[in-house]
Structure formats: C-alpha cells, structure tokens
C-alpha cells in the first residue's frame, strides 16, 4: 500500500503542465523515430541526451523514457505496412502483420498492435510499481562486496548486447573500460593515461562518446546505404472489430506476461521475448496453420511482449542500476549525468523523482493509445521524409550537443572520432553497446573492488564469504548460461524467418 501512496504522489507531479508536455514530446518523438529509416530509440536518446544540461532531471528522464517506449510501438507500423522491421524485435510482427496488410486489413492490424502495446505497457508499469521497491529495499543491505557482485551481474548483460559474437562483445567491453580509465581515477584520485595532454586529464565525456557512436555513426551508415524515403499504401480504418479483439485478447495478455517476466532478467532483450511469445502463441492456437498467413493473434502476442519487456526493463535499471537494453544503457548515462545513481538508494534518496517518472509512464502509455490510433496515417506520411533532410539535422544537433556539455571543442573532436570508429565497428559487426556499458560501470566496479579488498585486508575470499555477494555471483553465472541458450535459440528463429543472421542485441 505504501507503493500505491507514493505512486499517487507521483501522479500529482507528473500531471503538471511541464511534465505532461515532456511526456507528449517523448512519446511523439519515440513513435516517429521508431518508424523512420536510419533511426531508433538508442540513436534518438543519444541525440537528445545533451538536453539534460537545460532540463531538470524529472523532465529530462520523462522525455527520454517516453522516446524509448514510444519507439517500441512505432516500429510496428513499418513492420505491418511494408514488411520492414525497424528492429529485430519487430520481425515476428511482420510474419502476420504484413499478410494482413496485403489482405487490406493493415488498419485493424495497426489497431491491435496499438492496443496490445498499451495493455502490456500498463501491465509492465504496474509490475514496476510493486517489484522495483521490494528489490531496492533488499539491496539496501549491500556493502562494497555486494556492489562488486552486482556490477559483475550487470556486466553479464554484455552477453545479450554482444550481437552475433560474445567474444567481440567482451573485447568491446574491455575497450570501454580502458577508455574509462583516462583521467582522474575513482579510487586513487590521481590522473591516469593522460599522456601529458591537458584535454585528457578530465577524461572522455560520456555524452560525446554516445553521440559519436550512435548519432554520427547513423548518419554515416545512412550516407553509405543511400537511404531514401519509403512509401506507404492505403491503410483504411485502424479500429479493430469485436472479432479481432476477441481473438487477440488472450494473446496480448499472454504476450504481456511472458515479456514482463523475462524482461525482469538483466539483459533479456525484446528480440528474445517477442520470438518466444510468438512461438508459444502459435503452439497454443487451435488454428496454428493460420499463423504466417494473417493471424491477428500473431500481431498481438509479439507486440505485447515487446512493450512489456521494455517496461519491465526499468525494474533492474532503477532498483539495481542494470540496463537490459541499448536504449536503457543510454538512459543510465542520463541518470548519472544528473548525479542520480541508479540502484538501491535511488528509491530512498530520490523517491519523488522515481515515482514521478513511473507515474508518467502510465500517462505516456495512455497518450500512445489516444494519439497513435487516429494519427497512424500521419505517421505513415512522415516516413516519406527524405533521409537527405534528416541527416544534416542530426549532424547539427550532434555537434551542438557535444560542445555545449562542457563548452569544449575537444568534445566535438571526440564525437567525430567515435562517430567514424562506430561506423567501422558497425560495418564489421562489432557491438558498441558493451563499450558504453563498461565505460559507465567500469569505474564503479573498480571502486567497489578496491573498497572490498580494503575491508578484507587484501583477502579475495570476502566476495564468497558474504551470503548476499555469493548469491549474486551465482545468479550471474546462471543468467550467463541462460542468456547464451536463449540467444542461440533466438538466432535460429531469426535465421528461419529472414534467411540470414541479424544482430539481435537490440
């Protein structure tokens, strides 16, 4: 009941004009970038991250979170109408969504996608309300050894974010930790690896690296691929019939539950949960032969799993400081820029902030449903914007954002260097999110490791002698194994559907 009371207080703050406006902007921008070619929630959040310097923490995180779960919905539009999944998690939606569109039922398919996303999103946020505080309260018992074990648990996420090669993911994670060591050390307070260069003595700026690896890289990729606008055919009415709702109601609830349960696990991506939900729904159906030919349940289940997983991902992020997806890794960076340390003390020290953001997610999901059903036609037309118009805008925003954080032209240079580096990493299929994750978490891991050894006078046994620390380390090992199994299974399904290997890290 305490959680409900705190949530009601959160609604009071979330319903203020400025916070409502940030929620509207977030879900609208998120829906748009979820559909536009060459963009996605990770890139959009990276581009807008510099706004954290002018917005307050509540307003900024409400907007960035809205972009994330708004984009999860937006990807269904092109998947259904054009058979173009914006991300791998939208591939299952293509299987039945596009056949429905070819049958002239693209509108109802989009309507079911929106309703499923809303139902699952609300279920996910309800779970967030009750699970996150419990997890955070238990984590308040943590000391340095437990925090070290928690960072190890967080780094197991690299397995899920590594794309098609775990080895490459681990190498990129090591590289991310190495560049995090440039500047003042978190434990000794002495400059490291600055090579006598004054600009390096302050270390690399997190926003510059993120902007380079995501925003500038996306422009370079788009230029190489010569991306152009896409065209959309007639949509028709987006309001599903009673028969469609009846057929898909159980599918959306099952998909939502599957997505939420697996979404709590650190690092379980939406690609895994959407394929699993689709397969389970097909096996439970009385008419499995209709799947792949235009079954409305085949749209409802993966879309519900997609949004439920996205909402559930905020539980390990807020309660433990563990991001379960690339957009949440960037959101973690945003929290730390505001001086908000996600984890056990976040609910205790910044309770008003957390509950306002959670309340805004309820509001944002309602906005998505109310705004997107009547605006589907408009969104479809906006996808016709030429990439040649979008790319210069992204570059200008990127350069301004990189400069304004510290008013330092060196940061613009860093963004350019990492933008070119990110382009080549993408070209040769090296994952960049493990780099970001280790850049953020590496100093925290180092600090807790040094503090733990100081407590034990150099004895490494402290990490296995304390029950909570040992339990977290065991859980890390178990999740590592489970992640590998789920990833291999999902890769097999992706290859069956699209006929080639795709990066499932997003």
Quote the pLDDT of residue 416.
92
Quote the pLDDT of residue 421.
93
Quote the pLDDT of residue 506.
53
Q: What is the pTM of this model?
A: 0.74
Is-contact 71 37, C-beta < 8 A?
A: no
Segments of the chain scoring below 50 in pLDDT? 229-233
* HSE toward the beta carbon, residue 445, CA cutoff 13 A: 21
* Whole-number Å distance between alpha carbons of 89 and 262: 14
Nearest residue to 371 (alpha-carbon basis) of 64, 30, 84: 30
Quote the pLDDT of residue 229.
47
Nearest residue to 149 (alpha-carbon basis) of 386, 413, 392, 464: 464
411, two tokens: 């940061």
Is-contact 427 133, C-beta < 8 A?
A: no
Sign, CA dihedral 138-144-150-154, equals positive
Is-contact 419 222, C-beta < 8 A?
A: no
Q: C-alpha distances in angstroms, 305 versus 30, 255, 302, 344, 353?
A: 18, 5, 5, 27, 27
Quote the pLDDT of residue 88.
65
Cα-based angle 95, 101, 105 (whole degrees, multiple of 5): 120
Residues 6+ apart with CB under 8 A from 394: 47, 215, 216, 218, 219
Is-contact 8 1, C-beta < 8 A?
A: no
User: Average per-residue pLDDT in the chain?
Assistant: 80
Q: C-alpha distances in angstroms, 222 versus 43, 231, 326, 403, 506?
A: 13, 18, 20, 23, 18
């Amino acid at each position: 009941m305490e959680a409900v009371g705190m949530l009601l207080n959160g609604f009071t703050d979330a319903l203020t004009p400025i916070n409502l406006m940030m929620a509207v902007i977030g879900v609208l921008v998120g829906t748009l970038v979820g559909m536009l070619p060459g963009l996605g929630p990770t890139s959009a959040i990276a581009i807008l991250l510099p706004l954290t310097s002018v917005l307050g923490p509540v307003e900024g995180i409400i907007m960035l979170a809205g972009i994330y779960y708004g984009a999860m919905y937006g990807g269904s539009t092109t998947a259904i109408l054009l058979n173009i999944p914006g991300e791998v998690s939208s591939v299952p939606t293509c299987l039945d969504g596009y056949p429905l569109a070819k049958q002239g039922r693209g509108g109802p398919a989009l309507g079911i996608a929106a309703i499923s996303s809303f139902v699952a999103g609300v279920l996910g946020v309800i779970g967030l309300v009750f699970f996150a505080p419990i997890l955070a309260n238990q984590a308040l018992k943590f000391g340095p050894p437990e925090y070290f074990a928690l960072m190890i648990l967080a780094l197991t996420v690299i397995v899920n974010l590594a794309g098609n090669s775990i080895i490459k993911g681990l190498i990129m994670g090591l590289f991310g930790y190495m560049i995090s060591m440039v500047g003042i050390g978190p434990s000794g307070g002495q400059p490291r690896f600055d090579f006598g260069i004054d600009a390096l003595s302050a270390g690399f700026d997190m926003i510059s690296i993120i902007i380079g690896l995501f925003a500038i890289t996306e422009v370079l990729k788009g230029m190489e691929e010569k991306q152009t606008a896409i065209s959309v055919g007639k949509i028709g009415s987006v309001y599903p019939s009673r028969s469609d709702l009846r057929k898909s109601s159980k599918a959306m609830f099952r998909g939502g539950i599957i997505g939420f349960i697996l979404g709590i696990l650190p690092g379980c991506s939406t690609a895994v949960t959407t394929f699993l939900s689709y397969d389970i729904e097909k096996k439970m159906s009385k008419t499995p032969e209709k799947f792949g030919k235009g079954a409305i349940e085949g749209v409802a289940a993966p879309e519900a799993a997609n949004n439920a997983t996205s909402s559930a991902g905020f539980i390990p992020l807020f309660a433990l400081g563990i991001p379960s997806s690339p957009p949440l890794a960037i959101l973690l960076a945003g929290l730390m820029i505001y001086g908000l340390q996600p984890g056990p003390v976040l609910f205790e020290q910044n309770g008003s902030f957390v509950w306002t953001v959670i309340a805004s997610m309820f509001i944002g999901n309602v906005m998505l449903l109310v705004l997107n059903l009547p605006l589907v036609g408009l969104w479809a037309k906006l996808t016709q914007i030429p990439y040649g118009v979008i790319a210069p805008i992204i570059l200008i925003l990127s350069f301004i954002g990189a400069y304004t954080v510290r008013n330092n032209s060196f940061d613009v240079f860093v963004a350019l260097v990492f933008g070119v580096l990110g382009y080549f990493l993408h070209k040769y299929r090296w994952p960049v999110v493990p780099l970001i994750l280790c850049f953020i978490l590496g100093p925290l891991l180092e600090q807790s490791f040094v503090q733990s050894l100081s407590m034990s006078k150099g004895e490494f046994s402290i990490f296995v002698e304390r029950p909570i620390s040992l339990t977290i380390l065991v859980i890390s090992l178990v999740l590592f194994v489970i992640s590998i199994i789920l990833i291999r299974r999902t890769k097999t399904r992706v290859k069956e559907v699209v006929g080639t290997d795709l990066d499932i890290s997003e």
